[in-house]
Amino acid sequence: MPTYEYHCKDCGYTFEINSSIAEKEKKEKEGSLACESCGSPKVEQLFGGFSIVSGEYLKSSGSSGGSCGCGGEGCC
């Protein structure tokens, strides 16, 4: 289940919720999403960077001559 991070515009508290996309969108539309600290509805979603690493991706990128110069022998 995705984790979403929010920041309260009133008290400055930052919190996370674990929710499906549909549940998150429903709460935002209804206005029922509120700060866990002060209860204010004035919250904004924070967006941060993330990366996803997959063994299959590394194998497929390495087999075509990896970026480390190993020739795709599985070292990268």
Report the distance separating Cα 49 and Cα 36, nearest Å. 24
Residue spans of the chain under pLDDT 70: 49-76
What local confidence, expressed as pLDDT, does residue 28 receive?
A: 87
CB 37 within 8 A of CB 46: no
Domain 3-62 belongs to what architecture? Single Sheet (2.20)
Mean pLDDT of the chain, nearest integer? 79
What local confidence, expressed as pLDDT, does residue 74 receive?
A: 58
